[in-house]
Structure 1
Amino acid sequence: MTSPAHSTGFVSLVSAGPGDPELLTLKAARRLAEADVILFDDLASGPVLDQAGPQAELIAVGKRAGRPSARQEHVNALLVGHARQGRRVVRLKSGDAGIFGRLEEELIALTDAGIPFEIIPGVTSASAAAAAAGLPLTRRLTARRLQFLTGADVTGNLPEDINWAAIADPGVTTVVFMGQRSFPKLAEGLRAHGLPASTPALFAEAVGHPHQRLVRTTVGELAEMMRDTKVTQPGIILYGPLAFHDPKKESGTPEPTK
């Protein structure tokens, strides 16, 4: 990889975070301001794009389940084509680009074409959801492991090759991306492999946006809710020993006197 000043053009794969422009890194904001062209996902639009400079050409290439979406081959071709014109290209991805964002396919296309690039990490929606709910993602003694799971395979259904022993471990914080449609089926499998339906869960919808919604519940109750709910907003699911955690009770700090 070389610097962004490379004469043949350069691609910055920029992580937009969950949607709040104040959660952009300084480097991400700088690349947006400098870009000649920005290829952006649906979930990385809105106020984040206000950071773009007036010279930037904005191209929507988002993918959303059940909606018309840009094909990955088309996105790859746009990245390579604009970079070969000597342009500073930003590929703007929601959350952290390296987590369930099809980053590798774009890296392969750029590498095969000899296009220099950089990856700028960002705040994943898992971290943003936990922070919004006032929760840690790990917990001393009771949640020493953190795992990320996709709830959708390439067909949009629950993956068939799930490691049930790992995701039904009650001592782990599990984060499910793209799992609203498949969570009822996932919850059935979790219960069959020993995870209690009463396990605390957090559903975070539209994290980082003004209409953000947080629902503190249980795995069983969330599965029922998802069974009867039509998905309209991006959401993320966390479950494990954290969702009802009270740090005052664990540390022995007394409740304030009323």
Structure 2
Amino acid sequence: MRTVRFTDSTGYARRGEWTDDGIVANGTTYDPEDADVDVLPPSEPTKIVCQAGGYMDHREESGLSDRPERPELFLKTPNCVVAHGDAIELPPGRDSVEFEAEFGVVIGEQCRAVAEEDAMDVVAGYTCVNDVSNRDDQERERNWVRGKAFDASLPMGPVVATPDEVPENATLTLRLNGETKQETTREHMIFSVPELVASVTELITLEPGDVIATGTPFGPDELREGDTVEVEFDGVGVLENRVTTR
């Protein structure tokens, strides 16, 4: 199942199933392209735990040739989250803001100290994520707050797809203005989803709707005003956002 959050013409937030025929909720089918339908972020996370360098090809292009002993983590905050169809707002005065295609693991229940073999029990599903990164500030500070946690820097969506919808070898793709810029498969991840869940929850309590962003492959590049960026993950669909300036 692919679950979507949206508002209709009444402004009421609803949950439905995204199907080939449209969004089905309470016996009514809604057209996601209708002006009265506003797709919302697929969950309401209290935090987003992000993995840095989730694929070796990206680590190598960043000058890191070693395989990390454990996932290297940082946080994004709820102010970062925007939905499918919303704008990515470039922060003022920054020249180097880049896309990073990822898929997100959406947590289904409060959890801590989850064993690797039990990790999938707490996973509600997967979604597309774009970890938009302000390199100007990221390279100037050690904790990456200005570089990673600025407003509208985490498009997410359009749905949460249950794990059975997403193949083990699912392809992750990013297109910029229709041109493929990043592409990989889950098989190339350094750490598996269960390994990530176990590592994160060793010290951090996760709440329903929280997201683990799994890292980006080779190829992040700069965004410009007027760009359209798409992140596609097999089984989830396509997350599309336009790029604006504040």
User: Is the shorter-chain TM-score for this pair beyond 0.5, marking a shared fold?
Assistant: no
Give the number of the structure whose residues are more often strand, by fraction: 2
Under a length normalisation based on structure 1, what TM-score does the superposition of the two structures give?
0.23
Larger radius of gyration: 1
| Structure ranking higher on relative contact order (CA contacts 8 Å, 6+ apart) | 2
